[in-house]
Amino acid sequence: MGNRAKKVHSDAAWRKENLREGYTTGACATATTTAAVRALVSGETISAVTIDLPVRKNVTFRMARCEFVARHRVRCGVIKDAGDDPDVTHGAEIQATAEWLPAPEIVITGGAGVGTVTKPGLPVPVGEPAINPVPRRMIEAAVRAEAGQQLATRGVKITITVPHGEKIAAETYNPRLGILGGISILGTTGIVKPYSVSAYRASIYVEMKVAVANGAMHVVFTTGNRSETYARAQYPHLPEMAFLQVGDHLDYALKQARRLKISRVSISTMVGKLSKMAQGRFQTHVSSGTIDHDFLAAVAADIGAPAEVVAQVRTANTARHTQMILRKAGISGLETELAQRAAENARRFINGAFAVNVLCFDVRGKLLGTGEANVN
């Protein structure tokens, strides 16, 4: 997770286990796309490629296959290695088929084993294959890099497929989210960083202790890479060590902040985890409970949503879908209301030991709402 990985790997005492990193489905799809287009252009089979990921350069992927299935069509495949992360997609083959198109365009689509989005509220529009925005951009960049000047006169179609993907997806939350027919192609960094709970929490505590020892009495808890990036823009005056990625372990982080006598905690997140915090649920992993749409419906009613809109929220697909429903109905204030409730719950959780403020961002970094709870 962001900066923590370097610190954890540099000090074995921070972890109880030597857990191996892996690669996301998005990274694998980019690698196999690179190989397929390179083979299409050169006419030669490719055994391995080296690509750059968003957070790491010069990563080599070996091909499980590279075959010409027609004169102008190549299929390559990579076996996903999730490292020591308990990921059901570990060992799956992520395939890309590249073929020439007559028009100068790049088409990226999903084939067998890649899910299709059927409900709103996800980063991908309804009807589209479940290839998230960052992997899609990585795949397109790979096509441009490999096809080069040939794209001036003809195009390339990339089809991502995952053999047995539909069976694998049955073990995930994809069907519940309305992603049907297969898995999702995911990942914002390209890297899967597994942590044992004990090691992860230990790293949170050590980072916080270092921050306090260096005078950072205002710390910012973030739930991921994007929320950290957006929070840094809000607090450019804070030192780097003041930003801690706590993931789903906000409960632990808040307790340790109280123990270390921190004076202010800011929490940077997005609407899904925020909705749990607004209920006082500070262990936000999906294993501890999913989004409570009845709760969101009650909040919608509290901010003035009429009964018919409240009913839509109650049957929403995701918290983001709730945002879309309320926005379409012209009702604002959801994020501010949730952030305020989350801040007040956090203050109660630590018995008013320090001031808490909460920031809710959208996926592009726009600040949607804030909440504040001062010390008792």
Please give the tally of structural domains in the chain: 2
- Say yes or no: 207 and 188 in one domain: no
Instruction: Say if 14 falls within a structural domain.
Output: no
Instruction: State which residues form the domain around 155.
Output: 20-192
CB atoms inside a 10 Å sphere around CB 29: 31
Judged against a pLDDT cut of 60, whether residue 15 lies above it is answered with no
Instruction: Say if 68 falls within a structural domain.
Output: yes
Last residue of a domain, one of 192, 224, 249: 192
Last residue of a domain, one of 192, 224, 251: 192
- Say yes or no: 159 and 250 in one domain: no
- Say yes or no: 180 and 204 in one domain: no
Instruction: Express each pLDDT in 249-301 by its tens digit.
Output: 999 999 999 999 999 999 999 999 999 999 999 987 765 568 999 999 999 99
- Say yes or no: 134 and 212 in one domain: no
Instruction: Say if 180 falls within a structural domain.
Output: yes
- Say yes or no: 351 and 202 in one domain: yes
Q: Tell me the C-alpha distance between 150 and 138, whole Å.
A: 19
The dihedral over CA atoms of 52, 53, 58, 62, expressed in degrees to the nearest 10, equals: -100
Question: 90-100 burial, b for 16+ CB within 10 Å, e for fewer?
Answer: bebbbbbbbbe
Instruction: Say if 8 falls within a structural domain.
Output: no
Last residue of a domain, one of 192, 220, 243: 192
What strands, in cross-sheet order, belong to the sheet with 218-222? 243-245, 218-222, 264-269, 355-361, 367-373
Instruction: Say if 316 falls within a structural domain.
Output: yes
- Say yes or no: 213 and 342 in one domain: yes
pTM of the full predicted structure? 0.74
**Following DSSP, what letter does each residue of 240-281 receive, concatenated?**
GGGEEE-TTBHHHHHHHHHHTT-SEEEEEE-HHHHHHHTTT-
Q: In percent, how much of the chain has pLDDT > 90? A: 77
Query: 3-state SS of 153-205?
Result: CCEEEEEEECCCHHHHHCCCCHHHHCEECEECECCCCCEECCCCHHHHHHHHH
Instruction: Say if 71 falls within a structural domain.
Output: yes
Identify the CATH number of the domain in which residue 179 sits: 3.30.2110.10
3-state secondary structure of 60: strand
